[in-house]
Each structure stands twice: as structure tokens, then as C-alpha cells.
Structure 1
Amino acid sequence: MGAAFDVLGRDEDIVVAFAWCTSFLTFEALKHRDEEENSWNSLLVDFWRLSTAHSQYLIVKNFY
């Protein structure tokens, strides 16, 4: 289930949307590792997406 944010109307929602994306990707990587028991090498793309999202979140949060 996704989340709805008013990124055009509220600046705070932009920061929250980036935080939500980072949290979602974290739990997806955790699910792939723990439940599906994928190898670390098969998770490298997930980790790259997560690190990119986390970096974007930090930039948005600090500039807000």
C-alpha cells in the first residue's frame, strides 16, 4: 500500500515522501534477503537503489 503526499501544495510532504521511499526500499531489501533468502550479490541493485534514495533524502532534508 502506497502513501499519498501533496508534494505540490506542502513542502513538508516532499521531505516525507523521500523518507517514505527510503523506508520502503529498506524493507524491500530486507524482505529479499530474509524471506526470499537471495544472495548478497543478487541484492546489489537493490542496495544501489537504496543508497541513491537515501542520499537524495539527505539532500532534500538538509536543504529544506
Structure 2
Amino acid sequence: MTPLTPAGWILFAAMWVAGPITGFTACSLIAAAWEHKAVDRRAARTVGLFGTLLAITTALLMLVGGL
């Protein structure tokens, strides 16, 4: 699926930025929990914010793309 409108391209770019950030930070949180280290509040907040951004942009992209 390729966006055809400028709004679609903006949502597509936001989705592609939020995905890797969410994944990398979630992996670091899992690694910290696995090694019994203290969980960084900033990392937990980052996962929450970028995970929400990823979900919202994906939903909006589906609406803009007409899926």
C-alpha cells in the first residue's frame, strides 16, 4: 500500500519513524528486566508515547488509504 495524498505520506513517514524507536526501546526494557536491572522511566515513557503514535498513525493511514 502506497499513500497517494500528502497527508498519507506524512502518516506513512510517522509510522516508519515510530516503529523502530518503539521496537528498540521495548527491547532495551525487556533486556533490563531480564538482567534484573532497574527499568528506566524515560524508556518506559518512550515506549508508551511512540507506541501510541505508531498505533494512531497506522489507524489513520488505513482511513486515508481507504482500507
TM-score, normalised via structure 2 length: 0.58
SS of the residue 1:38 aligns to: coil
How many residue pairs get matched?
52
Residue 43 of structure 2, aligned match among 46, 50, 57: 46
The Cα of 1:16 is off from its aligned counterpart by: 2.7
What amino acid is aligned across from residue 45 of structure 1 in structure 2?
Answer: R
Which residue matches 1:56? 53
Q: 1:27 & 1:61 partners in 2: Cα distance?
A: 21
CA shift digits 1:1-56 (9 cap, x unpaired)? xxxxxxxxxx3454233212111111011112213x213xx433221111011011
More helix by share: 2
Compare CA radii of gyration and give the structure with the larger one. 2
- Cα RMSD over matched residues? 2.2
In the superposition, the TM-score normalised over structure 1's length comes to 0.60
Unaligned stretches of 5+ in structure 1? 1-10
Give 1:46's aligned amino acid.
A
Extract unaligned runs of 5+ from structure 2: 1-8, 62-67
